[in-house]
Structure 1
Amino acid sequence: MELLGISIGWILIVLGAVFLLIEATNPGFFIAVPGTVMIILGVLFVMGFDVFGSALGVVAGVGAALAAAAVTVWLYSRITPDEKPTTISRDSVAGREGRVIRDVDAESISGKVLIDGVEWSARSEGEAIPAGSKVSVVHSEGVHVVVREVK
């Protein structure tokens, strides 16, 4: 089957390859499955197998598409990490300890602390705390945390 002198099979192969490239540059968009199915159907067309020409062709095309989708989903699940992303809300940091990475004082929130690998804007309860000091989070206020030095 041809469309303006170009085989529909080649169009499907090229579109499938474009989908896979998009998936490779934006993981998680999950267009790898339709991309893989398009490539498989395109190859069947190029080989002269008319997928939509008969009942057997439709069954074979659907079977190939389902197999390609299953394999793609299986491969995708194998390459994605099993652990869930770590999320730390401002309310869950109270009581945790960290380290000052930019001097902290009581007057502003320009100070920075590193808590469990996450950088937070911080202010102290009273006295200034120099960079490198160990701190404990007293509580959070808006978009910053209030800390005290651990001695």
Structure 2
Amino acid sequence: MIYLWVAIIIVSVIADIATSLMLFVWYGVGALVAAILELYGFGFGSQVVAFAVVGSILTIIFYPIFKRKLKNIPKTLTREEQYIGTELVAKEDIDRNGRIMVDGAYWSVINEGEPIKAGNKIKIIAIKGTKFLVKGE
């Protein structure tokens, strides 16, 4: 039965790595306790109870703590999200749709305000699908 507990430990660690939830690893600790009990000659019923109790208690205690900690990790912005708030000068007139150059690449834009004339300042205010939403300054 030691192989069952080792398999549960491996699966729980892989599941937590894959999901980044820190939810399943606590049952891996319960499986470790059950494996230790088997080494000391305890019966399978005792091992299952220890697995369930230890895994459940650790999950109830530690999962909320890790969930709060994971919420506090700042989100990594995509390249496009980093451009929000950038102010540029329009190279061409933009009525409703158009394009702008940002860092050497052309991007499709949707104008969210009054028509923009070439040479006017514009600001990237959001992203909609694959297009920037812009507004004249």
TM norm structure 1: 0.51
The correspondence for 2:100, drawn from 111, 123, 143, is 111
Q: How does 1:72-91 map to 2 (within 5 A)?
A: 72-82=62-72
> CA–CA distance in 1 between the matches of 2:86 and 2:37?
65
Residue of structure 2 in register with 1:62 after alignment: 52
Q: How does 1:1-151 map to 2 (within 5 A)?
A: 1=1, 7-23=3-19, 27=20, 30=21, 32-37=22-27, 39-49=28-38, 53-54=45-46, 59-82=49-72, 99-100=87-88, 103-106=91-94, 109-111=98-100, 121-123=109-111, 125-129=115-119, 133=121, 145=133, 147-148=135-136, 150=137
The offset of 1:43, in angstroms, is 0.7
Segments of 5+ residues of structure 1 without an aligned counterpart are 86-96, 114-118, 138-142
Segments of 5+ residues of structure 2 without an aligned counterpart are 76-84, 126-130
Q: Identity over aligned residues, as a percent?
A: 12
RMSD of the alignment, in Å?
Answer: 4.1
Any conservation in 2 of the 1:101–1:112 contact (CA below 8 Å)?
A: no
> CA–CA distance in 2 between the matches of 1:112 and 1:51?
70
**Between Structure 1 and Structure 2, how many residues are aligned?**
114
TM norm structure 2: 0.55
Structure whose residues are more often helix by fraction: 2
The offset of 1:128, in angstroms, is 0.9
Residue of structure 2 in register with 1:88 after alignment: none
The offset of 1:78, in angstroms, is 3.2
The offset of 1:47, in angstroms, is 0.7
Runs of 4+ in 1 over 4 A off after TM superposition: 49-52, 134-137, 143-146
